[in-house]
């Protein structure tokens, strides 16, 4: 059903393209109503427009808080044009139909991202009249068009011109759906921010609200999900500004896949553990190599050496800009990676990676800006979807310190091994449980990930380490339930072990270390990752 648009209400915070759009509407014979800054902008541009307060006979007041919350506005939007009681009420009260609503909302999300913003400043950016008009128009989309995104101005004008000043049913439904998605996201952002303030002010004993509202904006339509028969898309959560895969700029390469994004996020999360030059090599959501060094190119070479076979086709995360030495290392020999996320790419490194055959058209390069341990937002809860519900938890940002380690064995841990153990523990936090990491210094030798038994995880890490295992240290994400895991590790050449402790067989595990002259420390903190 098509109804010709005779009157439009225009009131936008984001004024991108609004003058030209409004002028085009006016040239189509559509009467324009407007408010505040939008009215002033249209007047300056010479666009014929009537101020809403003139139309309602009721002045704007309270610093613009009250201007469109009026029966002549909402009655004109909500009236069912073919319902006699509605049309008679319109006649009786001098209400004119409003057939098109062009509204976007106060920039609440942008405001709360600003450093030093006060609570009062944030509250003032909670739009009331805008969402009310958006919801009214979207509810009555059978008769009313609702435009909330400047990107839709051209489509709307084209349809008006093609249909003699009317919008087709399909477009009105699509715009209404988009409008409700906008208000849902907007309210979710406000809800999360307000609850975060309660937590920060000590007014809530829990970081988990009674109702958790999660809304995102679709940024990528993916070819498929984990497998070709699964549909998938990527959404960016509103209000989050931590350097991440979601906020990164894609500079090059094929379209990102579902698995690329998952692996990049895992690699980037691990890289955020370190302030030093560090590279994580990730495959199937687990690190297969990782290293910290004095230079980023040295870190890359050491990380790749952790498991060169698995590193082919992996994704990488760098804590420093990718330089020419890194790019030259990657494109030489039989090496290839699917994607790289880094703070930035030096120009000569970018040229080499994007112009080298096999690399240029394929490798995805993402620049996320500078990041480190301090860039992580503890308030950003982790969400895991289950069938029929979801789980929320805080992020695992804990990291053991040397002072936290409690030696449980007769053998003491050498000073150089303390730092190696703590490095290995940080890696183990990002390995699927059961997780075992073998390391020397700040270089991963082998990883045992996702095994159903801990001793099998130990065996896998030893296998990946090869001959380098002699003199290595081992970090476990959780306690050893039996002595077999440590016995296997020590017999292979491991000399120091870190674990949280807490097993009913801790004494047996410690005794196994003492019998073989190996050192073991407890942290008291588990790091499962399922």
pLDDT in tens, 13-50: 999 999 999 999 999 999 999 988 899 999 999 999 99
Q: Which of 58-72, 90-104, 203-217, 390-404 is predicted with the least confidence, judged by mean pLDDT?
A: 58-72
Report how far residue 422's alpha carbon sits from residue 406's, in angstroms, rounded to the nearest whole number.
13
| Digit-coded pLDDT (tens) for 124-175 | 888 888 899 999 999 999 999 999 999 999 999 999 999 999 999 999 999 9
The burial of 18, by beta-carbon neighbours within 10 Å (0-12 exposed, 13-18 middle, 19 or more buried), is given as: buried
The mean predicted confidence, pLDDT, of the chain is: 93
pLDDT over 90, % of the chain = 75
The predicted structure's pLDDT at residue 378:
83
Taking only the tens place, the pLDDT of each residue in 45-58 is 999 999 888 887 77
**pLDDT value of position 53:** 82
Within 26-176, strands assigned E span 31-34, 50-51, 100-103, 145-147
Q: Are 76 and 50 in contact (CB under 8 A)?
A: no
- Measured CA to CA, the distance from residue 290 to residue 301 in angstroms comes to 10
Residue 62 pLDDT: 67
Tell me what pLDDT residue 1 has: 57
Identify any residues that bridge with 252 across adjacent strands, giving them in sequence order. Answer: 365
d(CA 228, CA 249): 26
Whether 380 shows a pLDDT value over 60: the answer reads: yes
What is the pLDDT, as a whole number, of residue 36? 83
pLDDT in tens, 389-421: 999 999 999 999 999 999 999 999 999 999 999
Q: How far is CA 44 from the centre of its chain?
A: 40
* Per-residue model confidence (pLDDT) at position 54: 80
Contacts of 390 (CB under 8 A, 6+ apart): 383, 384
- Residue 222, C-beta contacts closer than 8 angstroms, at least 6 positions apart: 232, 233, 234, 255, 256, 257, 258
pLDDT greater than 70 at residue 496: yes
What is the predicted pLDDT for the residue at 278? 98
- The rounded Cα 300 to chain-centroid distance in angstroms is 26
For the cut 90, the answer to whether the pLDDT of residue 233 exceeds it is: yes
E strands along 35-157, which residues? 50-51, 100-103, 145-147
CA atoms of 360 and 350, how far apart (whole Å): 9
Percent of the chain with pLDDT over 70: 98
Residue 11 has a CB neighbour count (10 Å cut-off) of: 23
Domains and CATH numbers, the chain: 7-193 (3.40.50.1380), 216-375 (3.40.140.20), 402-522 (3.40.140.20)
Name the catalytic one among 4, 15, 284, 419: 284
At residue 211, does pLDDT exceed 70? Answer: yes
Quote the pLDDT of residue 63: 66
pLDDT band at 61 (very low <50, low <70, confident <90, very high): low
* Residue found under tokens 């990657």: 330
Residue that the structure tokens 């674990």 belong to: 499
Q: 69 falls in which pLDDT band (50, 70, 90)?
A: confident
Say whether 218 is catalytic. no
- Among 504, 529, 516, 507, which residue's Cα sits nearest to residue 436? 529
240 has a pLDDT exceeding 80: no
**284 flagged as catalytic:** yes
* pLDDT of 236 above 70: yes
Helices (runs of H) and strands (runs of E) counted in the chain: 19, 21
| Per-residue confidence (pLDDT) for residue 74, from 0 to 100 | 82
Quote the CA–CA distance of 237 and 321 in Å, as a whole number: 26
Q: What is the pLDDT of residues 271-317, one digit of tens each?
A: 999 999 999 999 999 999 999 999 999 999 999 999 999 999 999 99
Asked if the model's pLDDT at residue 494 lies above 70, the reply is yes
pLDDT for 100 equals 96
296 in Cβ contact with 279 (< 8 Å):
yes
Instruction: Check: CB of residue 477 under 8 Å from CB of residue 375.
Output: no
pLDDT of 9 reads 95
31-50 burial, b at 16+ Cβ within 10 Å, e below that, comes to bbbbbbebbebbeeeebebe
Give the chain's end-to-end CA distance (angstroms, integer).
Answer: 52
Asked if residue 73 has pLDDT above 90, the reply is no
Phi, psi of 249 (to 5 degrees): -95, 125
Catalytic choice (3, 4, 86, 139): 139
Q: Is the pLDDT of residue 59 over 80?
A: no
């Amino acid at each position: 059903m098509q109804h010709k648009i005779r009157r439009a209400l225009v009131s936008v915070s984001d004024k991108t393209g609004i003058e030209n759009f409004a002028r085009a509407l006016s040239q189509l014979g559509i009467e324009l109503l407007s408010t505040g800054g939008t009215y002033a902008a249209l007047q300056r541009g010479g666009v014929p427009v009537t101020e809403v307060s003139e139309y309602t006979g009721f002045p704007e007041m309270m610093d613009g808080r009250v201007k469109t919350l009026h029966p002549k506005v909402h009655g004109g939007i909500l009236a069912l044009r073919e319902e006699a009681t509605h049309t008679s009420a319109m006649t009786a009260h001098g209400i004119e139909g409003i057939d098109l609503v062009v509204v976007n909302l106060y920039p609440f999300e942008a405001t709360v991202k600003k450093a030093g913003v006060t609570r009062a400043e944030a509250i003032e950016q909670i739009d009331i009249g805008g969402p009310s008009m958006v919801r009214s128009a979207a509810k009555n989309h059978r008769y009313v068009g609702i435009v909330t995104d400047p990107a839709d101005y051209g489509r709307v004008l084209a349809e008006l011109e093609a249909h003699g000043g009317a919008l087709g049913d399909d477009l009105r439904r699509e715009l209404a759906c988009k409008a409700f998605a906008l208000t849902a996201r907007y309210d979710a952002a406000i809800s999360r921010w307000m609850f975060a303030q309660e937590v920060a002010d000590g007014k809530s004993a829990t970081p988990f609200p009674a109702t958790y509202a999660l809304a995102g904006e679709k940024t990528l339509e993916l070819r498929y999900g984990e497998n070709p028969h699964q549909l998938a898309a990527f959404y960016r959560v509103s209000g989050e500004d931590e350097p991440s895969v979601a906020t990164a700029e894609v500079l090059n390469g094929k379209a990102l896949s579902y698995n690329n994004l998952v692996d990049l996020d895992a690699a980037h999360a691990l890289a955020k553990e370190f302030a030093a030059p560090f590279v994580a090599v990730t495959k199937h959501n687990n690190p297969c190599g990782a290293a910290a060094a004095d230079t980023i190119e040295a870190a890359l070479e050491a990380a790749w050496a952790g498991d060169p076979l698995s590193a082919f086709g992996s994704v990488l995360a760098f804590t420093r800009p990718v330089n020419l030495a890194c790019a030259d290392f990657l494109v030489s020999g039989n090496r290839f990676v699917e994607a790289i996320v880094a703070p930035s790419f030096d120009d000569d490194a970018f040229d080499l990676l994007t112009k080298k055959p096999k690399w240029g058209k394929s490798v995805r390069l993402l620049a996320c800006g500078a990041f480190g341990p301090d860039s992580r937002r503890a308030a950003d809860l982790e969400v895991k979807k289950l069938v029929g519900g979801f789980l929320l938890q805080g992020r695992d940002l804990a990291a053991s310190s040397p002072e936290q380690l409690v030696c449980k064995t007769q053998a003491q841990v050498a000073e150089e091994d303390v730092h190696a153990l703590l490095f290995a523990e940080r890696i183990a936090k990002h390995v699927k449980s059961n997780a075992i990491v073998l390391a020397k210094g700040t270089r991963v030798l082998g990883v045992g990930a996702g095994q159903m038994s801990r001793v099998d995880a130990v065996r896998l890490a030893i296998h990946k380490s090869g001959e380098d295992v002699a003199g290595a240290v081992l970090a476990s994400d959780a306690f050893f339930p039996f002595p077999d895991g440590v016995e296997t590790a020590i017999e292979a050449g491991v000399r120091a072990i870190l674990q949280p402790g807490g097993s009913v067989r801790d004494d047996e595990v410690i005794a196994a270390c003492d019998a073989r002259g190996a050192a073991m420390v407890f942290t008291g903190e588990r790091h499962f990752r399922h």
